[in-house]
Structure 1
Amino acid sequence: MSVENSSGILVTLSDLIGVTEAALKLLLTVLAGYPLAFVHRKYLYGKDENLQHLFFTFSGLLLGYWNYGVDIFHCVFTIFFTYCTLLILKGAAVSVAVTFIFNLSYLLIGYYYNSTDDYDINWTMPYCILVLRLIGIAYDFYDGHQPLEKLSADSKKVALDRRPGFLEMLGHCFFPSGFLVGPQFPLKRYRDFVSGKFSRKGTSDQPPDCVHAAIMRFALGVFYIVVFQILKLFVTDEYLLTDEFGSSNFLRRMLLLGMWGRHTLYKYISCWLLSEGACILFGLAYNGDDENGSPKWDGVENIKLTIFENTTEFNHYIKSFNLNTNQWVAQYVYKRLKFLGNRYVSQFAALLFLAVWHGYHTGYYVCFFFEFIVMYMERDIKSIVKSNEKLSNFFSSSTVQLPLQILLRVYTFVFMGWCLLPFALLNFERYWKAFGNASYVGIMLFVMWPLLYAPILKYFLKKKRGKAE
């Protein structure tokens, strides 16, 4: 089949299912992880490590080239630069600083020259995943040169006692089911995987019995793709900007806003589930055994669906959504700022890093600002309730629990949609129009909490407590 014919087929298929050709290529690349996993299981599992590195490097590069052409070699160059940094500077703190600054700067320069007013699918997408991976390697190699008693429990698990080879870094970075959309995983896990530590019990060179677990994750990924397409029939990004949406009754707008939020998140969840299923099939996702001695395959899990679909507070979203990136930021940014002595400053810095990592669009910064202010509000409310005996008894009453749970489910459903508006719409003119169409509910609730509601509530509670005394 000629290149022109294959491209024509992709265009036709992408038009049929209502996505761009780049998005369809991305989906097909994620699905390519499954046949590659079967090839690895049959012919390469437990074999020479360098042979496995070559397989992962070649297959990942080939998929990257199919998606982005020669631009994929930006990733090769930055891997080589990071390898040279670790080779020359070894496990010193300066190697972490150089790796951090160089890779983040390279990404921002890439955004500057390649970003548009839309969600971009170009070489900066796999590279933003790679930036975290390379910085993580530098940190882990640095930690491997520190006294064990100085390391946190998480750092001890992933610290590297020896410098990775260049081929090993290529295999880790271009792992075909992880380099485009994640999941993020440390070099230590990859190293254990290729060395056969995750092999079938009683063997050292046989792939584990993980096919069923992979199929289940794959099926969930397909399910969420279907739901994503169904929700697309009811609400889209563009519809939220229309006067028709803005003139609808309030309850309908809030319902559609919540549905749109789920539609937006399901796009990511479906890709993560499909990628995770392929990682499970490779055998990379082994995470020890459960209490019954059965193997767990959640080592690269990026979404906890039970928590996500039953959220009653925004902290549940953080605990269930994009787990690997959240864990990375917690381990390599948030916890490393402990010396500042202020949790809110560390959290703000971590969210600022995430916003910068995503790009220049103001929508990213507004979205993570809302995450910060929402978490602040929820912690403040919990503190107020906990410190007031009457409020604490009221909310813990069995008669209040059911309506409270329903109210909180509706709250998280609707306002996650609100918080995602700037992230998805990116440009100020677009998300501010959507804010207006949604009656600025998020600003009225979250932004006004520390400025108006909290001071008034605390004042009356304090006054009432003083009278009681």
Structure 2
Amino acid sequence: MSCYIGDKIGNRKLGAAAVFVFNLVYLLVGYQYMSTDDYDINWTMTQCVLCLRMIGFAMDYMDGAKLINKKASTETAQPEKTTANDQPASTTRLAKQPKLPISFQKNIALPTLPSYISTLAYAHFFTGFLTGPQFSYRLYESFINMHLYPDQSHIPRGSYKHAIQCITGGAIYLLVSQIGQMFFPQYVLLGEEYAKWDALHRFTYFWMVGKFSFSKYLGVWKLVEGSCALLGISFNGFDDNGQPEWNGLANVESLRFELATSLNDIIGSFNINTNLWAKIYVFKRLIFLKSKTISSLGVLFFLALWHGLNAGYFMCFFLEFVDMEAEKRWSKRVEFIKKSLYEKKVKNGISGKLVWGAYRVVCWFLQTCALHYAMVAFELLRYEWCIQAWGSVYFVGHFVVFGLIFLDLVLPKGRIAGEGKQQGETAMLKDTMEKTRTNGSTNGVDNDYSGHHKKE
């Protein structure tokens, strides 16, 4: 209704703003009256997913006004070329050049408002209604009209196989989560006995609590990915061997997540579609601030608020922002070490590979420590509980990350001594490192902000 009225009065921005305010305020009021100090399973869980979907829908309709303004200047242009299957060439290119994810392609603006029934069906699309994933109305429309597939009369094979793999993986994750939380319940962190343990025991238990906290989200997302594949909406083109891929709406890349050696890797492989939504509808809309840092903080504040009013969400997201800032600064300073070790791996055979492997294990461990340390606040939620849990491990995560940022500010600019020895790096090494380096654009996720969300 807001979009319709906004269009009638010639101001789609006002309509989109009304949708944004109504959905967010309605959700926050629900949190105020329904939330507790524990993980809540009630109507606000599905409402938070619907909140993002409706906000994105309204913004797409707002952006559609630009297409209308360009229509007059393109009326004399040649019509879009079609393939032998009588579909737009862009659809066939999508099939031949798969990208992950497909939830928000470039052409998602809506020049005309869909019917009420179509909008309602999109809002409550059953594979993404309870826990996501988020995707544009354009993708839903392409799926309904069979334009998602290169042959509109035939759905490619392979969706059942992919669905079974996802369901199996999701079941394993959920089983691991249940077993892990039986042995490492988070409430122990707040007990008097825990404070009496030796330091190593406390640190280990703290790390395990953070680890198993992630598993339940990964499991649910894998199950939902399987349902999307079964339905057919996650078709992602064909691989190099001509086999259809069904990972277009994957919300987690399990292998990449589990073996991640940096927080950038985590952002690109965890809650992928929500991260992409935040990039498109919040981060890029804050361009007027003229600061990526401030825009990133704006995104994180919005996402924390979207999750709920508990202090733990804000503490977690702020700490993750600081972690990312420290990683960004020091990755530049020690980049030559990484390149040197990789060069030794290439040249020195087994010994070089062992050193490179040890380096990656250390990076993996440090990344997981930072991630799990912040995640505990996401689970405990209450301010005093978070402070108590972090205090039991001497606030080590805070001291380390703020200490690294302080050192970066006081040390001479540029990388640490020794980088000059790496000027002779080969072109092959550069190319290989570029391919292995985390790139937010690969998955449509901006790596300037974190995106660890439980509800989408």
TM over 0.5: yes
Instruction: Report whether the alignment pairs 1:455 with 2:421.
Output: no
Match of 1:324 among 253, 273, 278: 273
Normalised to the residue count of structure 2, the TM-score between the two structures is 0.76
Q: 1: distance between equivalents of 2:292 and 2:321?
A: 12
Once the two structures are superposed, residues 429-449 of structure 1 have per-residue CA deviations (whole angstroms, 9 ceiling, x without a partner) of 111111012221111111333
Match of 1:267 among 204, 213, 216: 216
Q: 2: distance between equivalents of 1:229 and 1:419?
A: 21
User: Contact 1:312–1:405 at 8 Å: present in 2 too?
Assistant: yes
The sequence identity of aligned pairs, in percent, is 34
Counterpart for residue 380 of structure 2: 425
User: Contact 2:341–2:356 at 8 Å: present in 1 too?
Assistant: no
User: Contact 2:16–2:55 at 8 Å: present in 1 too?
Assistant: yes
Q: 2: distance between equivalents of 1:105 and 1:340?
A: 23
Instruction: Report whether the alignment pairs 1:436 with 2:398.
Output: no
Q: How far 1:121 sits from its partner (Å)?
A: 1.2
Counterpart for residue 248 of structure 2: 299
Q: How far 1:272 sits from its partner (Å)?
A: 0.9
Q: How far 1:392 sits from its partner (Å)?
A: 6.7
Counterpart for residue 99 of structure 1: 19
User: Contact 2:68–2:111 at 8 Å: present in 1 too?
Assistant: no
Match of 1:116 among 24, 28, 36: 36
User: Contact 1:148–1:156 at 8 Å: present in 2 too?
Assistant: no
Q: How far 1:382 sits from its partner (Å)?
A: 1.8
Match of 1:191 among 141, 144, 156: 141
Larger relative contact order, structure 1 or 2 (CA cutoff 8 Å, min sep 6): 2
Match of 1:381 among 317, 320, 330: 330
Q: How far 1:274 sits from its partner (Å)?
A: 0.8
**Which of the two has greater helix per residue?**
1
User: Contact 1:303–1:323 at 8 Å: present in 2 too?
Assistant: yes
Match of 1:145 among 59, 62, 65: 65
Q: 1: distance between equivalents of 2:198 and 2:250?
A: 39
Normalised to the residue count of structure 1, the TM-score between the two structures is 0.74
Q: Residue 459 and residue 279 in structure 1: after superposition, are their counterparts in 2 closer, same or farther (change >3 A)?
A: closer
1:19-418 to 2 correspondence within 5 Å?
81-82=1-2, 84-85=4-5, 88=8, 92-147=12-67, 156-198=106-148, 202=151, 204=153, 209-386=158-335, 393=340, 398=345, 400-418=355-373
Q: Residue 424 and residue 149 in structure 1: after superposition, are their counterparts in 2 closer, same or farther (change >3 A)?
A: farther
User: Contact 1:355–1:364 at 8 Å: present in 2 too?
Assistant: yes
Once the two structures are superposed, residues 288-339 of structure 1 have per-residue CA deviations (whole angstroms, 9 ceiling, x without a partner) of 2222222211121100111100111111111111111100001111122223
Deviates more, 1:251-260 or 1:417-426: 251-260
Q: Residue 243 and residue 340 in structure 1: after superposition, are their counterparts in 2 closer, same or farther (change >3 A)?
A: same
Which segments of 5 or more consecutive residues in structure 1 lack a partner in the other structure? 1-80
Q: Residue 390 and residue 172 in structure 1: after superposition, are their counterparts in 2 closer, same or farther (change >3 A)?
A: closer
Partner SS for 1:113 = helix
Q: How far 1:409 sits from its partner (Å)?
A: 1.1
Q: How far 1:357 sits from its partner (Å)?
A: 0.9
User: Contact 1:197–1:204 at 8 Å: present in 2 too?
Assistant: no
Partner SS for 1:162 = coil
Q: 2: distance between equivalents of 1:293 and 1:343?
A: 40
Structure 2 counterpart of 1:225, one-letter code: L
Q: 1: distance between equivalents of 2:148 and 2:417?
A: 61
Q: 2: distance between equivalents of 1:292 and 1:161?
A: 37
Q: 2: distance between equivalents of 1:143 and 1:174?
A: 23
Structure 2 counterpart of 1:366, one-letter code: M
User: Contact 1:218–1:273 at 8 Å: present in 2 too?
Assistant: yes
Q: 2: distance between equivalents of 1:176 and 1:460?
A: 51
Q: 1: distance between equivalents of 2:130 and 2:382?
A: 25
User: Contact 1:245–1:253 at 8 Å: present in 2 too?
Assistant: yes
Q: How far 1:127 sits from its partner (Å)?
A: 0.7
Q: Residue 203 and residue 92 in structure 1: after superposition, are their counterparts in 2 closer, same or farther (change >3 A)?
A: closer
Q: Residue 173 and residue 277 in structure 1: after superposition, are their counterparts in 2 closer, same or farther (change >3 A)?
A: same
Q: 1: distance between equivalents of 2:162 and 2:417?
A: 58
Q: How far 1:456 sits from its partner (Å)?
A: 4.4
User: Contact 2:184–2:209 at 8 Å: present in 1 too?
Assistant: yes
Q: 2: distance between equivalents of 1:350 and 1:327?
A: 11
Across the two proteins, how many residue pairs are aligned to each other? 379
Q: How far 1:464 sits from its partner (Å)?
A: 11
Which segments of 5 or more consecutive residues in structure 2 lack a partner in the other structure? 71-101, 346-351, 420-456
Q: 1: distance between equivalents of 2:341 and 2:248?
A: 40
Q: 2: distance between equivalents of 1:180 and 1:89?
A: 34
Structure 2 counterpart of 1:112, one-letter code: Q
Q: Residue 195 and residue 395 in structure 1: after superposition, are their counterparts in 2 closer, same or farther (change >3 A)?
A: closer
Q: 2: distance between equivalents of 1:196 and 1:390?
A: 50
What is the alpha-carbon root mean square deviation over aligned residues?
Answer: 2.9
Once the two structures are superposed, residues 195-246 of structure 1 have per-residue CA deviations (whole angstroms, 9 ceiling, x without a partner) of 12246x6452768541111111111111111111221232111012223333
Structure 1 counterpart of 2:203, one-letter code: M
Q: 2: distance between equivalents of 1:431 and 1:437?
A: 10
Q: 2: distance between equivalents of 1:87 and 1:148?
A: 12
